Amino acid sequence: MSGLFSPGSVGSPVVEATSDQAFLGALLAVESALVRARAAVGMAPPDAAAVVTEVAADVGRFDTDDIASRAREGGNPVIPLVAALASAVPREAADHVHRGATSQDILDSALMLLSARALDLILTDLARTERALARLAAAHRDTVMPGRTLTQHAVPTTFGLKAAGWRSLVLDARDRLIDVRASLPAQLGGAAGTLASFRTEGAYGRGGEALTSAFAGELGLCAPTLPWHALRTPVADLASALALTAGAHGKMAADVLTLSRTEIGELSEGESGGSSAMPHKANPVRSTLIAAAARRAPGLAATLHASLVAEDERPAGAWHAEWEPLRDLLRLTGGAARDGAELAEGLRVHTDAMRANLDRTGGAITSERVAAELARVVGGAAAAKALLTDAASRARAEGRTLASALAEEPALRDVDITALTDPTRYTGFAGDLTDRALERR
């Protein structure tokens, strides 16, 4: 995969961890784990487990392109892979390759193994992002900037609170990924999810628990209560957590894209991209790529959720439809996590622009506070609103500040208008909220 159409994920650790070669290695790891699990419960000789494990570990001896082309015959790559693995080991060991399993057992388990490795990489980048955002939030706890609602100035806020909000989303994503990572299950059910062939061979324990537990343990995955061939909760949960993670990064990216506009200029990326036609531009490339990933992720997650509607004990098409969207979603989220860490670590905060933008409305950004204070001075909310509306109208028409217009009102002679219209004095509990958010670890 060259990555010409995927600049947001190309070169990320997750791309390498989900490559065709990595997937082939995961399939082989699952096949060898099954033989070792069988040996652990007395269903296969230890020598067979050892030789299958040794051969399966040499991924390079298996032709990925050949297996991929032959996968079309049976609808999945496990069938040709099993044939190749069995032919690569002595006959007495070959008899134990894939014994009792179905293709979906191997492929589902391999996808969970691949996902576990990818999630570990994503979580590492989330930790970087969280640390960088915590530093930003603490450093700018009291850095006042315009709060915006429906694209317009609303009331003042602080950049520290904004960064703390981004961090909160990243931590939400982290918590969900950790939960999902801890619950990723191996798959072992046999032809129709009854483990019938294993019982015939003498698998012991209630419902073949010993074999299933041994198999899951070999892979570092959870032992499922039931085979989940047609019960796709693990994939749906994984999809949801990945889409949330992409979206959490997307919120940060959307804010950076808005606040780095030329006419706003409150933020800029540490290393911006250039333009092929306009040399003066410094494009917010990382935010752009993250935003693109966040827009694609929900669609991929929807496809994976659609596979919950799986007929029979093993469905035709439902689990097949998961493979590519799951890998794409892992890669998109992995790329967004990498870019998010780099974005947060290099983000430049332009406090002078924030202050200048606070003053763009001549103090009108404090009108909520002014209205509340004036109501106590001029005899009620209605009178205060009328006075403030008139003063604001005159200030706009004459191109001056709200404070200067209010200063002309006789009823306000004893009011400190300058302090009342100072946006830095109207940030509510922004500092306390930031502190509270930073207490979360």
Q: Is the pLDDT of residue 275 over 70?
A: no
Residue 273, pLDDT > 90, answer: no
Spatial separation of the C-alpha atoms in residues 322 and 134, rounded to whole Å: 36
Is residue 69 part of the annotated active site? The answer reads: no
| Backbone torsions φ then ψ of 147, nearest 5 degrees | -85, 140
Q: What confidence tier does 276 reach under pLDDT thresholds 50, 70, 90?
A: very low
314 counts as catalytic: yes
Mean pLDDT of 149-174: 97
Question: Other C-beta atoms within 10 Å of 409: how many?
Answer: 17
Contact present, 187 and 227 (Cβ < 8 Å):
yes
**What pLDDT, on a 0 to 100 scale, did the predictor assign at position 321?**
96
Mean pLDDT of 3-21: 91
Residue carrying structure tokens 């388990």: 109
Does residue 271 have a pLDDT over 80? no
Q: Can you spell out the DSSP letters for 139-154?
A: HTTT-EEEEEETTEEE
Nearest to 161 by CA among 191, 184, 180, 133: 133
What mean pLDDT comes out for the span 71-82? Answer: 95
Cα 6 from chain centroid (whole Å):
17
Tens digits of residue pLDDT in 206-249:
657 899 999 999 999 999 999 999 999 999 999 999 999 999 99
Identity of residue 189: G
Give pTM, 2 decimals.
0.93
Across the chain, mean pLDDT equals 94
Q: Which two tokens stand for residue 307?
A: 């596979």
Catalytic residue among 69, 87, 275, 393: 275
**Rounded average pLDDT over 332-344:** 97
User: Of the given ranges (129-133, 333-337, 394-398), which has the lowest mean pLDDT?
Assistant: 394-398
What does R_g of the chain's alpha carbons equal in angstroms? 30
The predicted pLDDT at position 205 comes to: 66
Buried/exposed 305-343: b ≥16 CB within 10 Å, e otherwise:
bebeebeeebbeebbeebeebbbbbbbbbbbbbbbbbbb
Tokens encoding 339? 């870019």
Could you please report the per-residue DSSP string of 375-406? HHHHTSHHHHHHHHHHHHHHHHHHT--HHHHH
**Residue 414: which pLDDT band, with cuts at 50, 70 and 90?**
confident
Question: Kindly report the CA angle at 328 between 312 and 282, in degrees rounded to 5?
Answer: 160
Q: Alpha-carbon distance 287 to 251, whole Å?
A: 10
End-to-end CA distance of the chain: 38
Distance of CA 39 to the CA centre of its chain: 39
Catalytic residue among 38, 117, 314, 327: 314
The whole-number pLDDT of residue 413 equals: 87
Given a contact cutoff of 8 angstroms between Cβ atoms, the answer to whether 145 and 137 are in contact is: no
